[in-house]
Copies of this chain bind each other. A is one copy, B any other.
Amino acid sequence: MRIVVIGSGTAGSNFALFMRKLDRKAEIIVIGKEPTMQYSPCALPHVISGTIEKPEDVIVFPTEFYRKQRIEMMLEVEAKKIDRERKVVITDKGEVPYDKLVIATGSKAFIPPIKGVENEGVFTLKSLDDVRKIKKYIAERKPKKAVVIGAGLIGLEGAEAFAKLGMEVLVVELLEHLLPTMLDKDMAKLVQEEMEKHGIKFRFGVGVSEIIGSPVEAVKIGKEIVEADIVLVATGVRANVDLARDAGLEVSRGIVVNEHLQTSDPDIYAIGDCAEVIDAVTGKRTLSQLGTSAVRMAKVAAEHIAGKNSIFRPVFNTAITELFDLEIGTFGITEERAKKEGINVVVGKFKGSTKPEYYPGGKPITVKLIFRKEDKKLIGAQIVGGERVWGRIMTLSALAQKGATVEDVAYLETAYAPPISPTIDPITVAAEMAMRKFRL
């Protein structure tokens, strides 16, 4: 069997490795535009800040590693067209025939149509190449004032990196608060305060209408002109679906797939950022675009090709990040989005400490839990705290993935030790708060 993968990112590279484990004999060919196999896009802000020394460090395995697994790599090769009738991928370096094809074309940074967005000193932060350019620009020009457009994860992590390099940073967000898809306003406020403590400024509900100068000198926000010598555009990503659409596959915002991740052509799979999966809360199609989702999709597609009846489960989009001294964890639906979707929810919120009061070093932690009114199920959580947020969001997400109700969380058996956590965990208290509202 000849299995061809288009895309050498997280989804494509992991697929190739999983596939090889399941099938020692298959020919596995990865076609990739970039010169390397998988690296971590989430690590890029840490390369800018210098926590990770060299851009190359974020490459997960050297190409030699894949070669040893007998994975054939066609890197710096662009797939131009899929000819489904002849079952070949047409690239700029010739044709590649396939028995099974896996589209893992990922996503690209969305560039809003702002005047001057193509000017020198304006960057996106999506690829290794972006990071190299940013680092070079910083080294050469030593910018002092940064403007970040967009207060999503990449925008905020970029803002932190710039601040750590000593720049003054202003984040401009069109919506009403930061991390607008991950957090509600009350929780976003906690993150904002932390970032402001570290000197980062915010403007909400406004956009950048113009970038002035090349190299950049300023940006226009409403009528105001704000000095800036570096600009990061972090206004989200778009799935790369052109190849799939041109091949006549069903495409919406992403490539439409079934629970085995097959496209409308059963010999062609789509995985990673370019594939549309099911939102566990709304049941609607969604783009997950998380590294963890990409890896799970890679696994499911490889197993299905290998003859196993694997299923990609609907996603809760469990996510975690660190911003300065805070950890922020989320999954599922926010209260704000639930309202828009017409889902009635009951919310439990609690602010506690990460350790028992008598133990030194406890840090504040705020837990917000979202339950569906109809069936009491946990459908979302947001946690902002000084430590041990990750474990709590993992726990809650695991519970939600198993269909847990408010009672399951309130009576959860937790793990306690004085240096680590309180006897009564804040997550169970937050559930208790919600339970009382259910009783009203």
Contacts and interface: CB of A to CB of B under 8 A. Distances in A.
B388 A413 contact: no
Given A51-B360, A420-B327, A424-B295, A394 B414 contact: yes
Contacts of A295: 423-424
Interface string A357-376: 11110000000000000000
A439 to B, nearest CB: 9
> How many copies, total?
2
A395 B57 CA distance: 30
A52 B402 CA distance: 39
A313 B413 contact: yes
A322 B417 CA distance: 8
Contacts of A358: 40, 43, 52, 57-60
A188 interface: no
A253 B293 CA distance: 48
Interface in A402-440: 402-404, 408, 411-421, 423-424
A103 B51 CA distance: 55
A415 B327 CA distance: 12
Nearest to A312: B411
Contacts of A399: 398-399, 402
B413 A296 contact: yes
Instruction: Say what secondary structure dominates the interface of chain A.
Output: mixed
A85 to B, nearest CB: 35
A417 B156 CA distance: 14
B397 A415 contact: yes
B52 A320 contact: no
Contacts of A402: 398-399, 402-404, 408
> Which of A299, A315, A401 gathers most chain B CB within 10 Å?
A401
A295 B57 CA distance: 47
Interface string A250-294: 000000000000000000000000000000000000000011110
Given A321-B417, A322-B420, 9 more contacts: A59-B358, A320-B415, A331-B413, A391-B391, A394-B414, A394-B415, A395-B395, A395-B398, A401-B412
8 contacts: A43-B356, A52-B359, A52-B360, A291-B423, A295-B424, A300-B411, A322-B420, A402-B408
